Amino acid sequence: MLPKTSMVTLNINLVLFVLLMPVGRGETKTVSNSTPPVLKKFVKAEYPRSAVQDKVEGTVILELHVDKEGKVSRAIVIESVRDDVDRAAIEAARRFRFQPAMVKGIPVGSVVRYESSFVLPRDNKQTGERKKQRKKKTIGYGKAEAAGNTGKPKPGSDSDSIAEFTQVVKGRRPPRAASDWRIEVSGRLDPGTVSPGRLLAMAPGLHVAQHGGVGKAQRIFLRGFDAVHGQDLEINVEGIPVNEVSNIHAHGYADLNYLIPEVISSMRVIEGAYDPRQGDFAVAGSVWIDLGLKHRGLTAKAGGGSFGRARALIAWGPRGEPDATFAAAEYARGDGFGPARSWNRAAAIGQYVLKISPGTNLKLLATSYTGRFASAGVVKEEDYDNGIQGFYDTYDPHQGGLSVRHQAMAAVEHESNGSRAELAFHAGYRELRLRHDFTGFIFEYRPIDNPKERGRHLGDLTEQYQEGLTLGGYGSYAKEVRFRGGTYALEAGFRFRHDRADQSQKRLRAVDQEPYWDEIEAKLAVTDIGLYLDAEARPSSWLRIRGGVRFDTLSYIVNEPMEYYGKGNRRDAQGVHIGPKATLEFVPGHGLSVFLCYGNGFRSPYGIALSQGERTPFVTVHAGELGLRWRLGDWLDVSAAGFFTHVAEDLVFDHATGRYLYSGATSRAGTTVSAKLRPLDWLYAFLSGSYAYSVLDETGKLLPYTVPITFRAGMGVKRNLTVLWGHELSISARLIADVIGPRPLPYSEETNTVFLLSADFGLTWGDLELSAEAFNLLDTKWRDDEFAYVSNFHNNQETPSLVPDRHFTAGRPITIMAYLTWHVF
């Protein structure tokens, strides 16, 4: 039996014209002849039996369209928990009745957002504490909780029989563009996401490749950009920047391997540069990752599978605390699917949200990670064709690396009536050692100062090392005003980071992996101070105008002590970038929104390439987009966008030499489409596709290495089967197909189309969950990444080939993993 309620708090805020920022505590002010809608009839949502038995908690965020009669004409899920919970929230919300919003005494339609939280019952003491807490402000962006009706838990009831149901109002940042996605991750990991970087691929049009082993940052492709290891995609985790400025291996290097997939609650991916909060590296777009753990209590998970893969996880989410409070640790290892592919890693993440006063929260976050991995490198296509090299072979087994990251953050968030402020500081230590050999014996340096090694062929194995410290912070203040019937919001904020890094690059002898040449020795100090102003106006129910500007100042001090015969060379540079942004959103009704966006983004320059006194040459991108979103009831959600970007002076990364080369101006145009379909309660499907046409302005030729076409389609089922020995047995299964279209390579060549089929399966019974996932079901031999450059792996000094050849890194063959998860308590 499911008693419906324990505590209900409700606050409906007029978000009629303000979605940018949170609004107050549900006041119904009359401003300039307009009044917001007022709730007259509230209906409590029923906690779905299946969700209670599954111990599923969460918060459904709905956008309610209130007509001029005060009825809820539409209820749109903005953030989902799962099907049955979403439906329960919608069914209740549709029965709400409002006093309609009024303008000059005339009833008008309006839009209201509210949050419906489903929280499982605790014991009496805990529940009492929670009730007290809920009378205070909640945490997180845009939440504004109000006191309201409070249900009473059934005394003495246990978690199987009593459900607690709360409702609070929450204002979320609305999408800046049709391609501004919020992706709920918890419980919806893709097959093969044992590497957290692959989570990024859940965003439509975003493709990642893993050419350097499990532990190296993924190579990212988005909207016609070869973002290499992050140079064109800004990534933040809980507001902490992940991209590393002027990393010795690649600018903007974004290593997400320190994340534990199970504690990633959601991702916001914006493709384009339309939000003033977007900073350095937001050329193709930005990703903000939020952490959280849905399951409360202690969870233990362990599993293993193909190629010696094994993984153990323990996670704890204290009951009575929000999802954002948790602690988790994991250890994972694998032998790899071929020589030189073994890896292991350990990570721990803890986050605690402390309410320190009504409306004020303190958030503390700490992460620690170390991972070591081997890397097989590339295979020359010609050698594979001639049977000299196997598909999964390696030329140099000494490639690989070690990656370490420790970081901490403290953030204070405060909400009061109609305003919100936040202030955060973070610090991080980073260490990375990479050894790679992309060329064999091409760039080898023969030291003239060491007669013993003169004339010897020493090899191109390269060691890159980086040790860095990052200090940073961010803060913002948001306020809304109402004026002449319209609602206007303003947010001002800042972000800063200071990076100090010691980096070096050495050539190692093939024979014993000892260094024989110091190529780079540098110390960098980089400071980025960014200020932004963001405004929103909603002068009518069908028009939203958002816009702002981002102002960044970057300074560099570069010290290369080995330069000029050891006397050293120190130089400094500083420059500014101003990036305006604007979005027009038309809301004609019937679930349709049309977006027209413009944004100016930037990428900082590569530190050691700077000259003394240089005005830091930012890579500037102009991005535009026309898109739409359409939601038809609860069963269809479609978005489509056409985009155009222009980069004034682009950089391309030469993987063979590890250097950046200026390519001149580039332009890209294309489209991204995404659709979600839920024809039946237990059946869902999704598909997304993207196309990008990328050219060099100077020649009109295609940009090599980009990913023009991506396509993903999948379908899944999730339903309860039966009750077995007092516990419900439920099943879930999913099948996903990925297609990566032909990618242009230099010399008018292109890669083969890649088709991958993956699946996962889950069986839940009470507190136990058995899950399995299979990646590359068809066991396709596919090339994860491809390159064209000169190599000489066989040390042929008689007739070495100097013409660029094709090389590839092998993709993962069929990989099956199985896990057992136990929600201990």
Site of interaction with another protein (CB under 8 A): 622, 624, 642, 644, 646, 665, 667, 669-671, 691-693, 695-704, 742, 744-750, 790, 799, 801-804
Least distance from another protein to the Cβ atom of residue 714, Å = 22
Tokens of 460: 């191109």
The residue among 401 and 689 lying less far from another protein, judged by its C-beta, is 689
Residue 468 has φ and ψ, to the nearest 5°, of -145, 160
Q: What is the DSSP letter of 131?
A: H
The residue among 189 and 702 lying less far from another protein, judged by its C-beta, is 702
The residue among 448 and 802 lying less far from another protein, judged by its C-beta, is 802
The residue among 385 and 518 lying less far from another protein, judged by its C-beta, is 385
CB 478 within 8 A of CB 20: yes
- CA-nearest of 219, 196, 195 to 206 is 219
What are the C-alpha distances in Å from 642 to residues 279, 320, 625, 639, 690?
23, 44, 6, 11, 10
Least distance from another protein to the Cβ atom of residue 351, Å = 43
The residue among 662 and 747 lying less far from another protein, judged by its C-beta, is 747
The residue among 69 and 698 lying less far from another protein, judged by its C-beta, is 698
Least distance from another protein to the Cβ atom of residue 671, Å = 7
Instruction: State the sign of the Cα–Cα–Cα–Cα dihedral 45, 46, 51, 52.
Output: positive
Instruction: State the sign of the Cα–Cα–Cα–Cα dihedral 345, 199, 732, 93.
Output: positive
Least distance from another protein to the Cβ atom of residue 801, Å = 6
Q: Cα-Cα-Cα-Cα dihedral of 796, 797, 801, 802, to 10°?
A: 140
Write a three-state SS string for 360-400: EEEEEEEEEEEEEEECCCCEEHHHHHCCCCCCCCCCCCCCE
Burial class, 699, CB count within 10 angstroms (exposed 0-12 / middle 13-18 / buried 19+): exposed
- How many C-beta neighbours within 10 Å does residue 431 have? 15
Provide CB contacts within 8 A for 225, sequence distance 6+.
232, 233, 283, 284, 668, 694, 706
The residue among 357 and 796 lying less far from another protein, judged by its C-beta, is 796
The residue among 665 and 717 lying less far from another protein, judged by its C-beta, is 665
Q: How many CA atoms lie within 13 A of 447 on its CB side?
A: 15
The residue among 223 and 319 lying less far from another protein, judged by its C-beta, is 223
- CA-nearest of 196, 286, 184, 179 to 235 is 286
Least distance from another protein to the Cβ atom of residue 243, Å = 26
The residue among 421 and 790 lying less far from another protein, judged by its C-beta, is 790
The residue among 549 and 745 lying less far from another protein, judged by its C-beta, is 745
Least distance from another protein to the Cβ atom of residue 693, Å = 4
Instruction: State the sign of the Cα–Cα–Cα–Cα dihedral 481, 484, 487, 491.
Output: negative
Least distance from another protein to the Cβ atom of residue 643, Å = 9
| H helices present in 56-123, as ranges | 83-93
CB 272 within 8 A of CB 623: yes
Least distance from another protein to the Cβ atom of residue 501, Å = 32
Spatial distance between the Cα atoms of 640 and 206, rounded to a whole number of angstroms: 15
Spatial distance between the Cα atoms of 401 and 210, rounded to a whole number of angstroms: 14
Spatial distance between the Cα atoms of 63 and 65, rounded to a whole number of angstroms: 7
The residue among 339 and 642 lying less far from another protein, judged by its C-beta, is 642
Least distance from another protein to the Cβ atom of residue 667, Å = 6
Least distance from another protein to the Cβ atom of residue 104, Å = 42
The residue among 158 and 749 lying less far from another protein, judged by its C-beta, is 749
The residue among 466 and 672 lying less far from another protein, judged by its C-beta, is 672
What are the C-alpha distances in Å from 586 to residues 112, 261, 638?
17, 36, 16
Least distance from another protein to the Cβ atom of residue 466, Å = 30
The residue among 635 and 747 lying less far from another protein, judged by its C-beta, is 747
Least distance from another protein to the Cβ atom of residue 696, Å = 7
Spatial distance between the Cα atoms of 717 and 638, rounded to a whole number of angstroms: 20
Spatial distance between the Cα atoms of 185 and 202, rounded to a whole number of angstroms: 9
Least distance from another protein to the Cβ atom of residue 438, Å = 17
Residue 381 has φ and ψ, to the nearest 5°, of -55, -40
630 strand-pairing partners: 592, 638
Provide CB contacts within 8 A for 1, sequence distance 6+.
161
- How many C-beta neighbours within 10 Å does residue 590 have? 9
Least distance from another protein to the Cβ atom of residue 742, Å = 7
Least distance from another protein to the Cβ atom of residue 322, Å = 44
